[in-house]
Chain A
Amino acid sequence: MKLMTCPINGPRLISEFAYGGEMREMPDPVAVSDAAWADYVFNRNGVPGVKKEWWCHTPSGVWFIAERDTTTDTIQRTYLYQPGARVRAERAA
């Protein structure tokens, strides 16, 4: 069984983890067109390559980002999510 390394709890069986989807930026709901919003909601990028994905270590509830090459199914690195600059600017305002 595959191993995945939780940034807090270390390497564990993949069965201790839950997948949370690809990490994607949400478009601004106010500014975006209906078509662009529908694209965000319904379409996913299936092109193989290195993807940033949300993963959760379920016994501890730690969410983190895994960079995974979907061509070879190898997990290249994992790290805790840092909220983007946009969110931080929002908080500061």
Chain B
Amino acid sequence: MRRLPPVAGERIDRSQAVEFAFEGKPLRGYRGDTISSALAASGVRVLGRSFKYHRPRGLLSAAGHDANTLVQVHCGERSVPNVRADVVPVDSGWRVSAVNTRGGLQHDRLAVLDRLSAFLPVGFYYKAFHSKRWFPRWERMFRRLSGLGEVDLRAGRRGTPKRYDFCDVLVIGAGPSGLGAALAAAGRGASVLLVDENPTAGGSGWYARGGATATLEKTAALLAAVRADSRIRLLTSTYAAGYYADHWVALVAPEYLVKVRARSVVIAQGACEQPAVFRGNDLPGVMLASAAQRLLYHHAVASAQRVAVLTANAEGYAAALDALSNGLELAAVLDLRATAGPLSMPAAQELTRRGVAVHYGVTPIEALARAGGDVGGLLFESTAGAAAQPQRIGLDGIWMSVGFAPANALLQQAGARLSYAHAAEQFLPQTLPSGVYACGKVNGVYSFAERLADGGAAGEQAAGRLGFGAEAARGPWVAPLECPTHPFPVFRHPRGGEFVDFDEDLTVKDLENACQEGFDSSELLKRFSTLGMGPSQGKHSNMNALRILGRIRGESLESLGTTTARPMFHPVPLSHLAGRGFEPQRRTALDGEHEALGAVWMPAGNWRRPEYYAVPGQTREQAILAEVGAVRTRVGVIDVGTLGKIEVHGRHAAEFLERVYTARYANLKLGMSRYGLMLDESGVVVDDGVVGRLGVESFYFTTTTGNSATLFREFGRLATWWGLSVGLVNLTGHYCAFNLAGPDSRALLAEHTALDLADEAFPYLGIREGLVAGAPCRIMRVGFVGELGYEIHLPADYAVDVWRALRASGSRFQLQAFGVEAQRMLRLEKGHIIVGQDTDGVTNALEIDVSWALRMDKPFFIGQRSLAILHKQPRRQSLVGFTLAPEAPLRPRESHLVLSAGQIAGRVTSTGWSPTLARCIGLALVTPALAAGQKLRIRIEKGQEVDADIVRPPFYDPQGERQRSTSPGTSAAHAAGQRTSLVSARRRNPLETCSTGASSARGDPAGARLRFEVLSRRERFGCKGPGAEAWLMAAGFAVAPAPNSAQVDAGGVLVARLGIAEFLVESVEGGAERVESARRQLGSALRPADVYPVARADLVIGIGGAHLNLLLRQICSVDFAPGLESCAADFGPVTLTSMIGVGVVAFTRGGCDREPVLTLWVDPSFAHYFWTTLLEVGRDLGAVAVNE
């Protein structure tokens, strides 16, 4: 093998040498060489060892359609396994080695396995691996012997961000038919994305020349036309890995994955040339003719000195002419057919004229190896002409051109139905799904001119379907003049060694044996023999195997059918699939405060919450017990901002709550709250919370942390379904909340509010609205932890200041921040359940002793009817409280079993050491029989058992006197009328306390390709409800008429219509006073009853710059390009979508004289995640950030 003098159309740059090493030996190639072409040019013929028998292997397809040429590439510190040497361009400094050898490629000690092949029959894994005793040994041994490259466990994390892309027509494959399709579709005005898996486009138009230059010139002209067409984007080295629903195609580019949404797809992926199956067909030097042609014309490499072309079609004769015209010696042309076909005949005559021996009716017997392990001769016999005497020719290369298998994997994935056409000896698409078109070889069309025309017709159809020109029709398929594929290029040898699957080392005998064992359908054969399950997924083996199976079964290929090749079409690096990895995390506004206090974090739903606050010198348990003690004796504060926080307004607000919750709310007095228990239709407990009445038609209520998003969504569905006139507002992220609890809580709070906190004015279960430390708050008197307590709910942007004010004066009260663990114990002492911990997915309301909350006399609530049925049935389980003796040395834990007569009779749901009661307490779900008794026996770790006494909760303060406390608190002196709060809380941008991020992308915003600007400080409010639009217009705002659009009025105020009847109003360029005044009115008694306020403490980010659309394509699946092009200065579309996993409101604004700017509104609880992730994505795009 050698490099030829310059060849027309070669794709190497001879002025740029590339130095690299293979198996430790320094070599050189040129820029434009693939790893395998550079090796071939350097005379390396053995590129790897086979998977199972470790036979030497060389180039087969030169297109990455086989596993022979997978290599390990070491580059600097990185070591990358399983690099596809046929298609990856080689680079300077690379150290390349073969995969899976022991002692190097040349002297692979595992080559001995080839001689043991008789003992490794097909399916031997299944026969050998089943023994329990031997399996571990087998497994260890085969893990060492087989496999591919080695994963570098020290490899660092690589950023492989995925992208979204959009086009009218996606054309897969840039050969003659694909080029034709792209030009035709673009010619009609469609935007076209054209992709090709090879480093250069043109397909076989570039390399299958038949010794002439006509096809090269035509292909070059087509490529020039494609490059000149601004509607066509050409991506090379990019393969379509899979087709998914609704024209969604995964493209694998060298560094990342692209998810393309096309409106039509043209599949022009061509065909994979197939090997002939004869003894020795895997020797290095025996390759597909197309591989030799690729080497010749892409890389100017002669793959041999003296070759024979084994053929059965016109393509083989063309390859023979290519060999001659590039100065290779042609030993013979060996035609498997009795005579040349009509397309081959002229070439056959020319070859004969030029003195080349052309044999017909050839049966290849064996390719013979020479000393180096590569091919040195061919033994064959020929029926035509001379007597059938085996002949032997000396050569160093055999080119196989006996047929093709259409690359129809994506067509099948798209749902095309295929049928076998004998006229082309291949499967053809019979019916195609809507919007999917096939052309070229995959469609059974082979000549250059016909492929170009077929592609053009497919491109016209694909564009015509989308309204670009008239709908186009296509004529019926015309069979090729000469069949390009031999029906059975398989030649059995008595000594075997005819390889069908080069990846998995399967020979004809293996398939025969599999069939003999009964695995004789295409699906079973594949699974038993692992045929087509190697890295190339049957590209070179599936059709030959089917032909062999057909012969064995005596059936035609039509009736056998074929297996569906699933994604991915080629192997895809796992890093591509992993992409960037987005894990949206929510944080309350007080997150930074907790961090400063030493919070130890725990996940709660998608939030993080302080489990407890670490104290130097104290253990976790000590810290938690101290927190519990502080609440019981002084005052504590816990962030409960993760609770679902919802408002419901409207005529049917009370009725809605009556239907959703088990208790009564129609009779709830203004300014009072009531426990809410929610069931599903089967009576199972699903959630609980507190419902407070703010007005006749306005309620504020809470849900548990983990359920808030799904419940809010379900409330929307229920309101729609029931046809109730209500407006639901989700304040979960825009509001913060903390619970101030303990005997001193009243005194502490009194220092910061003018509200009358005396028990008569603000009784237990009351809800009040007023200023705390200058911030507008809702305060609920709650008793979850069993002490006098005030739960303070307020807009998230005020939360930090109010928290700090309370803590500042709280130092005199020794205010203790407490975490989730302390709260769990405090509520357990009160016997309050946690839904989802003390109940499970089947625990109904009758089993947890909450009859006081079930108003069975109401007309309807969800689960009511089922409870009526359950009431008549015996109980399955009951929730009971238990205590252990104070001196008990052993403690149970959650989920430990409760036993009765040695049988499982329940489980512990909550338990822990109560510092208040100085003993272990808990709750357990047990059988009713046990619940009626006195004792529980609990099985704990290591099979030990402990006895517990059943006690009716609450364990602490059974009368509930402490939470109803009327006493002003032990430190009354502090609260004696005078308020000491000097703080006036101000609103803070949600990133103000965010410690990371902003500094990492500072720079000069002017001229930056991407600019992020935090705009949260703008004055803003939201509103919804039937009267919202009229009220806004009456207040003088310009309201955009169309759903999901926004406009900025002359005073610089933006009014965005979110969906149909929700509005977001913001001072964009002035008008802050107007907006603030309207917001105040909305929060006051002047608010019309049919306008509902929507609190908005959003993170607002403005994004501009030339790379805006590139950024959007990494973070959002919606195509913003049309909106960015069409938006105006004072008017633009609003998009409600999801970016990097977070719901956003997006507004595009721009105009003819200014660059488009996208404004995003994001729930503030996602602010930290969203901002840091955005900066990370933006970093590679040159982003500069400005945080106000």
Contacts and interface: CB of A to CB of B under 8 A. Distances in A.
B723 A87 contact: yes
A3 B1135 CA distance: 16
Contacts of B723: 83-84, 87-88, 91
Contact of B1143 (A38, A59, A84): A59
B717 A54 contact: yes
A44 interface: no
B1085 interface: no
A69 interface: no
B759 interface: no
Interface residues of B, number: 36
A49 interface: no
A42 B866 CA distance: 11
A1 B1138 contact: no
Interface in A11-57: 12-13, 15-16, 18, 20, 29, 32, 34, 37-38, 40-42, 54, 56-57
A32 B864 CA distance: 13
B1137 A83 contact: no
Interface secondary structure of B, over-half rule: mixed
A25 B913 CA distance: 49
Nearest to B415: A72
A29 to B, nearest CB: 4
B1136 A29 contact: no
A34 B259 CA distance: 51
Contacts of B720: 63, 81, 83
Interface string B1036-1047: 000000011000
Interface in A52-93: 54, 56-63, 73, 81, 83-84, 87-88, 91
B189 to A, nearest CB: 21
B681 A41 contact: yes
B847 to A, nearest CB: 17
Contacts of B1136: 9, 57, 59-60
A32 to B, nearest CB: 8
Contacts of B1143: 58-59
A2 B1118 CA distance: 13
A59 B1163 CA distance: 11
Nearest to A56: B713
Interface residues of A, number: 35
Contacts of A3: 245-246, 261
A21 to B, nearest CB: 9
B1012 interface: no
A40 B866 CA distance: 11
A52 B481 CA distance: 52
Given A3-B246, A60-B1059, A37 B1137 contact: no
A84 to B, nearest CB: 8
B1117 A12 contact: yes
B682 A60 contact: no
B869 interface: yes
Given A3-B246, A58-B1138, A9 B682 contact: no
B1070 to A, nearest CB: 29
A62 B1059 contact: yes
Contacts of B866: 37-38, 41
A9 B245 contact: no
Contacts of B1044: 8-9
Contacts of A16: 1117, 1137-1138
A35 to B, nearest CB: 9
A58 B1059 contact: no
A63 B717 contact: yes
Given A1-B245, A54-B717, A83-B723, A34 B1059 contact: no
A10 B717 CA distance: 19
B869 A37 contact: yes
B813 interface: no
Interface string B1058-1069: 111000000000
A71 to B, nearest CB: 13
B709 to A, nearest CB: 8
Nearest to A42: B682
Nearest to A11: B246
Contacts of B1117: 1, 12-13, 15-16
B716 interface: yes
Interface string B861-879: 0001110010000000000
Given A12-B1118, A12-B1137, A60-B1058, A18 B713 contact: yes
A41 B713 contact: no
A59 to B, nearest CB: 4
Contacts of B681: 40-41
A29 B1138 contact: no
Nearest to B1044: A9
Contacts of B721: 54, 81, 83
Contacts of A54: 717, 721
A64 B865 CA distance: 27
Contacts of A18: 713
B1144 interface: yes
Contacts of B722: 83, 87
B857 to A, nearest CB: 13
B244 interface: yes
B1043 A1 contact: no
Given A1-B244, A12-B1137, A83-B723, A37 B865 contact: yes
Contacts of A42: 682
B860 A58 contact: no
Contact of A8 (B244, B860, B1060): B1060
A20 B1060 CA distance: 21
A15 B259 CA distance: 14
Nearest to B1136: A60
B682 A41 contact: yes
B248 interface: yes
B717 to A, nearest CB: 5
Contacts of A8: 1043-1044, 1059-1060
B583 to A, nearest CB: 15
B914 to A, nearest CB: 39
A49 B149 CA distance: 48
A59 B1144 contact: yes
Contacts of A9: 1044, 1059, 1135-1137
Contacts of B713: 18, 20, 56, 58, 61
B339 to A, nearest CB: 49
A25 B1118 CA distance: 35
A59 B1138 contact: yes
Contacts of B716: 56, 61, 63
Contacts of B712: 61
Nearest to A3: B246
A41 B1060 CA distance: 34
Contacts of A91: 723
A56 B720 CA distance: 11
Nearest to A80: B720
A37 B682 CA distance: 10
B865 A59 contact: no
Interface string B1142-1157: 0110000000000000
Contacts of A83: 720-723
Interface in B700-745: 712-714, 716-717, 720-723, 730
A81 B717 CA distance: 10
Contacts of A59: 1136-1138, 1143-1144
A72 to B, nearest CB: 9
25 contacts: A1-B248, A2-B246, A8-B1043, A8-B1044, A8-B1059, A9-B1059, A9-B1136, A12-B1118, A13-B1117, A15-B1117, A16-B1138, A18-B713, A20-B714, A20-B717, A37-B865, A40-B681, A54-B721, A56-B716, A56-B717, A58-B1143, A61-B716, A73-B245, A81-B721, A83-B722, A84-B723
Given A8-B1044, A29-B865, A83-B722, 11 more contacts: A1-B259, A2-B246, A2-B248, A9-B1136, A13-B1117, A32-B865, A42-B682, A56-B716, A63-B716, A73-B245, A84-B723
For the complex of A and B, 3 pairs with smallest distance between CB atoms: A83-B723, A29-B865, A87-B723
